[in-house]
Chain A
């Protein structure tokens, strides 16, 4: 178990800077998920921690010891690859035993460790088969087994569920979480799947263009996104973002008369001339009503996605299309007139220029 720190880490590939001044501390026993788009630098950051990639400058510390110049083998860290990277010519048993044989652990102890790991991961019945004879989920279990068998300081995972189908992914996600709780190992997990990230993470790290955007618990990231990127990237459907004018306590959308009532002081200091302000609303922060209600504005529904447990309804309000989460069947069909209100407590305001959340993130 270990604490991992990244200090001022920079990484260039030629002229291209993929990690920009990264600072991050991962506490002992914590499950941290790095989330971002592809090319955002999250995999590079993970590989830098593992030692599969050198850093251009900055420090990486594991348990307070600088390791940025050490080889991967000397960092005592396990890594689960997206492609599993199982050794195709070895049986499952040999694959799992490989990290132990590589350091010449004696056979009895090795067998005990392999069997124990296989039991935990429920792959004991496959031990004498070749990886190619296994299903995707079992291959992933073997890859995780190979990582866990030597009880590493930390477990790094690079989109380990990326190639599995969605059902298996959900199942493996639960297993990973269970395993983490049982083992308590420091884990760093990279993914572009926000649901995976939110369900697994103690803390999430959002990376974009090599810059750290926000670090925090999943609900914190969801409820208090620090900037527009995080706000739009996390959450499904995507947060509605519309340009607004703020005048005193009034919020005006383009092309429509609205009467959204914000409480006293909620808009204090937000009226900024010039650059403009964007209003961010999650689909559940928008309320629909069939009757005319005070503070609500008239709008027309344009599209309905029935998802069973709830519906996603698109409404046109002035020039903007807002996506709203409603109870199933709340709106009968397209082209209906509805009244749109806001849960002002869940409204976010962003500066269009700096893209920062004007309420200030956590």
Chain B
């Protein structure tokens, strides 16, 4: 017998009195969501796929001409676009690595009985809850070469964090780490507290030192959930726009999302930017898949 998935409608309910069946109630809840999804997500996705093969410009009335794969060919041959990609890759690497180290470290510190643990955890989570644009703006003030508090405390004088071509990307990554390390911390904390305490006792009995225990017991057992945090953060970092846009306008900090924004809404190359967006989408899906493959391998153990 197939198991009952839906709860049966109570025959005495209002809904039943109005002659609605279980099925019509289900549809009432699901259909709006699906319609919304199709209109605002699926349709633009497919429509832009069509645009990506044309020379359409949303700023003119000129009809769109089909140009085949020309947009893709041009984009993939453009050394400036590759520069954007390499900047983004560097940014993702620095930012995600930083978040994992800081976040996991904080989780390790919190994964023990300390006074006011709940309060400390909540405070540490605050950055994550702020708006990106707000975070960008106040870090801009913190970094300010004239009155910024960072230079004041580090004694760096007039060092221009966000204008320095070598430093700007790191400066943005630091803000991202500050903002999102708590997210990694939260997931790591969940993973750490799921490691049974008796395994640590067994390791202690087995004479394992603290480093050995960490690398052979703690890390492998937290790896799956840490991996999920890394997937989320990589995807997000890859798409970063607002932070970098607000903080700096250096060519050295032009991430793909910023390039894409400029191409689509400042240069109005709608067809070209659609193609660009698709290239980015394929890349994100590919990178995510690598992680998911690894995650499944870890989970299989």
Is B217 a contact partner of A81 (Cβ separation < 8 A)?
Answer: no
Binds B, one of A82-90, A160-168, A191-199, A316-324: A82-90
Partner among A77, A85, A89, A98 whose Cβ is within 8 Å of the Cβ of B221: A89
What's the Cα separation between A193 and B110 when bound, in Å?
40
Binds A, one of B129-137, B195-203, B233-241, B274-282: B195-203
B299 to A: closest C-beta gap in Å:
10
Binds A, one of B80-88, B143-151, B206-214, B256-264: B206-214
B3 to A: closest C-beta gap in Å:
27
What's the Cα separation between A78 and B209 when bound, in Å?
16
Partner among B199, B204, B212 whose Cβ is within 8 Å of the Cβ of A87: B199
Is B220 a contact partner of A89 (Cβ separation < 8 A)?
Answer: yes
Q: Within 8 Å of chain B (Cβ to Cβ): is A205?
A: no
Main SS class of interface, A: loop
B204 to A: closest C-beta gap in Å:
5
What's the Cα separation between A51 and B217 when bound, in Å?
20
Is A89 a contact partner of B301 (Cβ separation < 8 A)?
Answer: yes
Question: In chain B, what residue has the closest Cβ to A81?
Answer: B198
Is B202 a contact partner of A79 (Cβ separation < 8 A)?
Answer: yes
Q: Within 8 Å of chain B (Cβ to Cβ): is A99?
A: yes
Is B198 a contact partner of A83 (Cβ separation < 8 A)?
Answer: yes
For the A-B complex, the count of residue pairs with Cβ-Cβ distances under 8 Å equals 60
* Beta-carbon contacts under 8 Å, B109-131 to A: none
* Beta-carbon contacts under 8 Å, A167-219 to B: none
A73-B201 contact given A85-B196, A87-B217, A88-B221, CB 8 Å threshold: no
Is A81 a contact partner of B212 (Cβ separation < 8 A)?
Answer: no
Is A73 a contact partner of B208 (Cβ separation < 8 A)?
Answer: yes
Is A85 a contact partner of B204 (Cβ separation < 8 A)?
Answer: no
Q: Within 8 Å of chain A (Cβ to Cβ): is B205?
A: yes
Residues of A within 8 A of B220 (CB): 89
Is A146 a contact partner of B206 (Cβ separation < 8 A)?
Answer: yes
Residues of B within 8 A of A315 (CB): none
What's the Cα separation between A169 and B117 when bound, in Å?
43
* Beta-carbon contacts under 8 Å, A48-70 to B: 50-52
Query: What size tier do the contact residues of chain A reach?
Result: 20 to 34
* Beta-carbon contacts under 8 Å, A128-169 to B: 130, 146, 150
Residues of B within 8 A of A102 (CB): 203, 206-209, 212
Residues of B within 8 A of A88 (CB): 221, 301
Residues of B within 8 A of A221 (CB): none
Is A78 a contact partner of B217 (Cβ separation < 8 A)?
Answer: no
Q: Within 8 Å of chain B (Cβ to Cβ): is A118?
A: no
Residues of B within 8 A of A81 (CB): 198, 201-202
* Beta-carbon contacts under 8 Å, B160-218 to A: 196, 198-199, 201-209, 212, 216-217
Question: In chain A, what residue has the closest Cβ to B224?
Answer: A89
B201 to A: closest C-beta gap in Å:
5
Q: Within 8 Å of chain B (Cβ to Cβ): is A310?
A: no
What's the Cα separation between A102 and B198 when bound, in Å?
17
Q: Within 8 Å of chain B (Cβ to Cβ): is A72?
A: yes
What's the Cα separation between A83 and B208 when bound, in Å?
19
Is B221 a contact partner of A72 (Cβ separation < 8 A)?
Answer: no
Partner among A73, A76, A103, A150 whose Cβ is within 8 Å of the Cβ of B204: A73
Is B221 a contact partner of A78 (Cβ separation < 8 A)?
Answer: no
Is B207 a contact partner of A103 (Cβ separation < 8 A)?
Answer: yes
Is A79 a contact partner of B205 (Cβ separation < 8 A)?
Answer: yes
Is B201 a contact partner of A52 (Cβ separation < 8 A)?
Answer: yes
Residues of B within 8 A of A71 (CB): 204
Is A130 a contact partner of B205 (Cβ separation < 8 A)?
Answer: no
A73-B212 contact given A87-B199, A89-B301, CB 8 Å threshold: no
Question: In chain B, what residue has the closest Cβ to A94?
Answer: B216
A244 to B: closest C-beta gap in Å:
48
Is B199 a contact partner of A85 (Cβ separation < 8 A)?
Answer: yes
Question: In chain A, what residue has the closest Cβ to B300?
Answer: A130
B202 to A: closest C-beta gap in Å:
4
Question: In chain A, what residue has the closest Cβ to B199?
Answer: A85
Residues of B within 8 A of A73 (CB): 204-209
Give 1 or 0 for each of B42-79: 1 = CB within 8 Å of chain A CB: 00000000000000000000000000000000000000
Which of B205, B208, B209, B217 has most chain A Cβ within 10 Å?
B205
What's the Cα separation between A177 and B123 when bound, in Å?
56
Question: In chain A, what residue has the closest Cβ to B220?
Answer: A89
A98-B206 contact given A89-B221, A89-B301, CB 8 Å threshold: yes
9 A-B residue pairs with CB within 8 Å: A52-B205, A71-B204, A72-B204, A85-B201, A87-B217, A88-B221, A98-B216, A103-B207, A146-B202
> Sorted from nearest, which 7 A-B pairs have the closest CB atoms?
A99-B206, A102-B208, A85-B202, A73-B207, A79-B205, A85-B198, A72-B204
Q: Hey, which bits of chain A sit against chain B, CB under 8 A? A: 50-52, 71-73, 76-79, 81, 83, 85-89, 98-99, 102-103, 130, 146, 150
Beyond A79-B205, A86-B202, 11 extra complex contacts between A and B, CB < 8 Å: A50-B205, A52-B204, A52-B205, A72-B204, A73-B206, A73-B209, A85-B196, A88-B301, A98-B206, A146-B202, A150-B207
